Structure 1
Amino acid sequence: MADGSARHSAALVLGALTDVYERGWQPQDVLHVTGRHFSDVKAGLIASLLLAHAYRVTPLAWAPPAWSDQIRAMALAEPTADAAARRYAGSAAEHGRPGCGSRERPGGGAGHPSLPGIGSAADRFSAGGLVLLWQSLPDWPHLCPPPSLWSPHAASAGPAEGTPAADSGPRAVDPKVPARIRGLLAKAESTDFPHEAEALTAKAQELITRHAVDTALLHRDTDADADGFAVSARRIHLNNPYLREKVTLLSVIGRVNTVRTVWSKRLAIATVIGTEDALEQVALLYTSLLVQCTRAMQARSPGAVGPGRTAAFRRSFLVGFATRIGQRLAESHRQATRDAAADAGVCDGALVPVLRAQDDAVRKEAQRLFPHSRPTHAGKVDPVGWCAGTDAAETATITAGGRRIPGRVPLPGA
């Protein structure tokens, strides 16, 4: 009886997960939302379920790169969960455990393994709770093909139908640049020395800016229309607190880089839409600047006040920081474009048609994916926090060699 219960629970959970994937969700999306709902459950338990599904149910060898990268990242982050999932997948195969849509072999029930994370009282969540949660999730736009459409041909063909291939069109001169940028920013976020972090972030920004402008220069000799740009989308998962304000920072960074941001408050997930290079730049810049903002915000938060006062200050700090960062990034973008155009021997306006066509392509794809989205606005702000955040944005490093973009005189420390 216990074995039959385990099989029933496994079928329910794996089937519900298959269904939610078919409705546009991806592994890291499900991990994020499930973790927010079952906040008292360790991430490893949830990851073990998703990994077990990946190894037992899906043809992972045929998965699109974006999907397999998420599974790989999950496995690296939770090695114990990965080991449990692999044991389950191997044992289930030995005992005839069916994948979704397959038939169980006669006599395969004896010694049936338990699905990782389900069935123990210590796990603190049930198969029924997971199934109800996943069934309640809304349908989402498919950012890559769901598992039912995978095949050896589809795995090599690229994104889902209707989405241009990410590797079509002109390529940047140096494909190793994104990896170098990630390495620099990872070091910047891990160091305890502010000056070292600024130098690393500055070098990363220099590479980001030049990489983007070089790519645009490669486009200028092609037909500059919206159909010539390969636009894709990815989801960025945000965590409490101050979600709306963090989205504001992400949105202003995206706007400068011709990336549109669509935010789901209920799910705490933002979808960013743009060219693949631009999406990578925005994700890297957002992570780095959020680290800088958080450090500055904690250092300047008022002491000896109530929690409500501190929260209002910090929310407003983030908004002020985001507003000024957007202005500085725009100034940096204009200057870098002028410098790169001069180096290439073309006039300042040579890239205008290309950049306009790129913006049109991004706008069309955002409208296709989210036809019913509407703009949102920040709420009330605390003036002291807003000014302190604006001041902190003046000293955040976003340019090459630590050189700061000219702007207004920084305000006195608030």
Structure 2
Amino acid sequence: MGSRDRRRDGATDDRAMYRALAGFAGADLSQEQMLEVLLQTAMAAVGSGNRDAVEAISAALVEKPDLNGWRAFVARDLARRLPAAVEQVWTRGWEPADVVRYAGRRLGLARGALAAEVVTEHLAGYAAVTVDPRWHEQTAEFEAAAWWPSGSTAAQAHLNRDGWVTFAPELLELVAFLLVLPGLERIGPPPGDYRPVPGETGSTPVAPKHVDERVLSRIRALLAKAEATTSEAEAEAFTAGAQERMARHSIDMAMVQAGQGGGGRGERPATRRIWIDPPYEQSKTVLLNAVAVANRCRSVWTKNIGFCTVIGFAADVDAVEALFTSLLVQATTAMTRAGRIEEAGGRSRTKSFRQSFLAAYAFRIGERLAEVTQEQTEAARVELGDDRLLPVLASRQQDVEERFAELFPSVTRGRRIKVGDRMGWASGRGAADQASLGTSTAVRP
């Protein structure tokens, strides 16, 4: 798995930020100049993650006397800058879900909810058919319905409802946050540039489906059973059965695409960002990479921001996301169970034990998933013949590699995980055996 750092823009010396605030308080500046000082200082503080400076900037904003319409001016100016800042984010490669997740992670859940409202409001200004269907799906998940009056904006409504002292600092911080977001790889068209696929109808386009939803539903049902059961034998059978269905469905879809597009090149590889929540992020990315490789995908970890980019064909990427989510639940359950067993040793709750456990779990899961995929590929070779199957799989793998190289031409290999607890490693490897060994013969759809 590759690793890619994205350094935050706007980092600066703390003393420079406080000098700027001192100048704001004492200098004879116009309203435009005063707000510009605050915004630039806020951008530096947010970019460097300096919460003390953010608080100082908020205080300077709200404590300034409301002379000559200062508050009304700030409200108008920030409301004007907000949509431009959102527009700039799209040109830098961010998608709606990315903005909301990162805002919640960096600024807190309240700011994340505000970002969801602002993003949803902004996209509503475009003709629905000019926005990528995936973006519509992402904003629908926010459930950020417009509660503000018609003719108003979310920012104006918040100011009226929450008051200047409460909301003005939130608005300033959100604008600053959007302006310092670094550039990302563009994985889809920005709003306004999307064009519907031929034959697509309706005011809100639906993302083209490259996966049989019935198969995906069965896979998710198997994974849900694996998460819910207390029997390790049942969990291993359900998980293995899900991977078998994933692997076979991938082959079936590849052959269908080959028949429709010629040589398997009718469909372009998909790209999806999967956010990795703390703690133990490195071990979780190893698990995601193991699942991705077993399903003929590639993954890259953008460590400083907190997500992995998975590249592969749509059916495979759907499978990777579903299985990774399930295996995280199973790994956490197994880690908790192992911790109770090893608790007498006093190490089961340490960071080293859990990091080692999850790393071993991820490596062993990768081996097992690869075995299942290989078994299904061999079965398909017998059924279809090498001359039909192998060129298609090779062509699709080449497409994935080309897309990977296009997006990440200078990616570097991530550092190896340091395993500091042998007991955790042994426990994690054993839990992975229990989670993924077995066949689907005992599994019913």
Interval containing the TM-score (normalised by the shorter chain): 0.7 to 0.9
2:351 paired with 1:311: yes
Select which of 87, 94, 99 maps to 2:147: 87
Please name the residue that 1:411 is paired with.
none
Give 1:167 deviation, angstroms: 5.4
Please name the residue that 2:196 is paired with.
155
- Structure 1 residues 98 and 27: alpha-carbon distance in aligned structure 2, compared to 1, 3 A threshold: closer
Select which of 87, 99, 107 maps to 1:30: 99
2:391 paired with 1:328: no
Please name the residue that 2:298 is paired with.
260
Select which of 402, 405, 410 maps to 1:367: 405
TM-score (norm 2): 0.71
Structure 2 CA distance for aligned equivalents of residues 119 and 266 of structure 1: 34
Query: Which residue identity does 1:401 align to in structure 2?
Result: S
For 1:368-405, what per-residue CA distance to the aligned partner results, in whole angstroms no more than 9, with x for missing partners?
0111111113231032211111111101146653769x
2:125 paired with 1:66: no
Structure 1 CA distance for aligned equivalents of residues 154 and 141 of structure 2: 26
Single out whichever of 208-217 and 254-263 deviates more from structure 2.
208-217
Give 1:248 deviation, angstroms: 0.5
2:282 paired with 1:241: no
For 1:36-77, what per-residue CA distance to the aligned partner results, in whole angstroms no more than 9, with x for missing partners?
11136464344333333333x4444532111000001111xx
Is the CA contact (8 Å cut-off) linking 1:10 and 1:114 kept in structure 2?
no
Select which of 416, 427, 444 maps to 1:388: 427
The aligned runs of 1:135-214 (5 Å cut-off) are 135-150=179-194, 154-156=195-197, 174-186=212-224, 188-189=226-227, 191=228, 193-194=230-231, 200-214=238-252
- Structure 1 residues 42 and 10: alpha-carbon distance in aligned structure 2, compared to 1, 3 A threshold: closer
For 1:293-331, what per-residue CA distance to the aligned partner results, in whole angstroms no more than 9, with x for missing partners?
111011112436778971111111111111111111111
Structure 2 CA distance for aligned equivalents of residues 385 and 66 of structure 1: 39
Structure 1 CA distance for aligned equivalents of residues 179 and 249 of structure 2: 42
Give the SS at the match of 1:30: helix
Please name the residue that 1:104 is paired with.
none
Is the CA contact (8 Å cut-off) linking 1:21 and 1:146 kept in structure 2?
yes
Structure 1 CA distance for aligned equivalents of residues 180 and 348 of structure 2: 33
Please name the residue that 2:440 is paired with.
401
Query: Which residue identity does 2:376 align to in structure 1?
Result: A
Structure 1 CA distance for aligned equivalents of residues 161 and 247 of structure 2: 45
Query: Which residue identity does 1:267 align to in structure 2?
Result: I
Query: Which residue identity does 2:189 align to in structure 1?
Result: P
Give the SS at the match of 1:235: strand
For 1:161-183, what per-residue CA distance to the aligned partner results, in whole angstroms no more than 9, with x for missing partners?
xxxxx859xx66x4532244335
Structure 2 CA distance for aligned equivalents of residues 350 and 329 of structure 1: 24
Select which of 230, 233, 257 maps to 2:268: 230
Give 1:340 deviation, angstroms: 3.2
Structure 2 residues without counterparts, runs of 5 or longer: 1-68, 200-206
Please name the residue that 2:121 is paired with.
52
Is the CA contact (8 Å cut-off) linking 1:233 and 1:274 kept in structure 2?
yes
Structure 2 CA distance for aligned equivalents of residues 268 and 114 of structure 1: 29
Structure 2 CA distance for aligned equivalents of residues 119 and 263 of structure 1: 40
- Structure 1 residues 180 and 11: alpha-carbon distance in aligned structure 2, compared to 1, 3 A threshold: farther
Where is the helix percentage greater, Structure 1 or Structure 2? 2
Structure 2 CA distance for aligned equivalents of residues 248 and 271 of structure 1: 13
Give 1:260 deviation, angstroms: 0.7
Query: Which residue identity does 2:412 align to in structure 1?
Result: R
Structure 1 CA distance for aligned equivalents of residues 225 and 164 of structure 2: 40
Give 1:144 deviation, angstroms: 1.6
Structure 2 CA distance for aligned equivalents of residues 187 and 309 of structure 1: 27
- Structure 1 residues 269 and 294: alpha-carbon distance in aligned structure 2, compared to 1, 3 A threshold: same
Report the identity percentage: 33
Give 1:332 deviation, angstroms: 0.5
For 1:153-208, what per-residue CA distance to the aligned partner results, in whole angstroms no more than 9, with x for missing partners?
x13469xxxxxxx859xx66x4532244335435654x364567556545533432
Larger radius of gyration: 2
**Structure with the larger RCO, 1 or 2 (CA within 8 Å, 6+ apart):** 2
Structure 1 CA distance for aligned equivalents of residues 251 and 414 of structure 2: 30
TM-score (norm 1): 0.76
Query: Which residue identity does 2:285 align to in structure 1?
Result: V
Structure 2 CA distance for aligned equivalents of residues 201 and 120 of structure 1: 53
Structure 2 CA distance for aligned equivalents of residues 3 and 121 of structure 1: 13
Please name the residue that 2:253 is paired with.
215
For 1:331-386, what per-residue CA distance to the aligned partner results, in whole angstroms no more than 9, with x for missing partners?
111111222344x3x33675222222211111110110111111113231032211
Please name the residue that 1:408 is paired with.
none
Give 1:235 deviation, angstroms: 0.4
Is the CA contact (8 Å cut-off) linking 2:104 and 2:113 kept in structure 1?
no
